Structure 1
Amino acid sequence: MDNNYEYDKIDLDGPAFRLVRLHQGDCGDLSCDLFQAVLHQRDEIIPYEALSYTWGPTGGHHSLVVNDRKMSITANLYLALKSLRYPHSDRILWIDAVCINQSNVKERNHQVAQMSHIYKQASRVIFFLGNATFTTDAFMLFMQLRWRKIWAVAHEKTQALDDVPRQGLKSLLSRPWFRRVWILQEVANAKSAIVCCGNFAIAANIFAIAPIIFGIDPSVHCQSVIDIMPGPWR
């Protein structure tokens, strides 16, 4: 991935890693600061969220301004950052494609080796499923508004539920995110997580019971991912 940004060296003899401070805003260019931190220093490290997403095709024309220098990023990451950027406050994130110098093999291997610790130490993991559609928005909104009545709904006939959010859930379960090799590690190490699609987000433990509510049987692989999402049903 070509970029104009030049990474500072990182200490490869210890648990060093980088974090992104995504600048606030609701329009204009995406920008951030990239700074170094050290794992396992829980009393000193700034709380951060770790992003779990699908890279998608490379070679796009999207860019992120990092420390006043441009970095090329994939369309999927650009979409994720647009959705996750807060309008009035900065957000601290760990993002593999930005925080790791992908052109430095030694650094990449060092960071991959401690990736489970990065996800485990994150205050929250963001499962970003991609772009929103009318049906996925309907599903996410349904779960946001009605989760407190979830068990009452579960005892009703599923046919009584609106078919639009059901189609939205089916669409989300077919997303490439569920088929990524690294998903099981990222999900299993999350102590807390949210599921995001477009501009909507719901707690992972609420998402995990959605197939029961809508009477949907996910594929074996999807169900294995759902089963280890953080929450009382893990």
Structure 2
Amino acid sequence: MSRVAKNVRLTVGDAELTIDPTHGCRIGSLRIGGTELLRQGEKYGCFPMVPWCGRTENGEFRSGGVLHSLPPNSPPHAIHGTGRDTAWETAREAENESAFYYDLADPWPYPGRVTQTFELAEESLTLRMGVEAHVDSFPAQAGWHPWFLRNLGGQDVRIGFDAAWQEERGESHLPTGRRIDPLPGPWDDCFGMPDGVDVKLTWPEQLELTVRSRDEWVVVYDEQDEAVCVEPQSGPPNGLNTTPRLVTPIEPLEIATTWSWVRL
């Protein structure tokens, strides 16, 4: 029986995580010692991007020579997948770990299942996501879009990372396919980290939080006053077309990220 109507709360020590399965299985709240780290609101928190990340150009992608169309929810492009707009089912729920899933459906043209797990520890949070193909193979992406508060305790965050390259952003807001040396912010840009995503957020005298992932792609967005985003993902924006990662019935797409923190 479905159990999607209520939020799920995980607690370990002074860390508290609230998950909202009904509204895209997003993290609604992450509190450390009573301090909220995420921007609040139904569009914010931290939502999964699946089965694609960022913008897909003109809402179109090809698979096996077949052209598919997706709703242009960020005209003229389709953005951030269907997972954030879907009610997920609760598969498992414990004090410090929970799992959820939803089945891919229209407007996504291929049957499959997406799973997401959350594991909370005293000084870290590990998120995992998987995309399974039921019948036909298809290209897919997965990742997370957290909205970290820019200011904690009167201190603005500092973002630190060492990327191998930056995807040049064209007028369409999509990568041109050209890799350039990383530019100074502000950013709404995708970066490559071949040794794995490693981005540090520092709120002076408050908290240091590090976002890591074995995958090499991360989008950094800091153009808003209220929040900054560090988005580990399995491919770049428009990757369904430019760097397709095929999901097959015997080879799912899997991605994980860990956020770890220390008090300052």
TM-score past 0.5 threshold: no
Higher helix proportion, which one? 1
TM-score by length of 1: 0.29
Which structure is higher in strand share? 2
Give the TM-score normalised by structure 2: 0.27
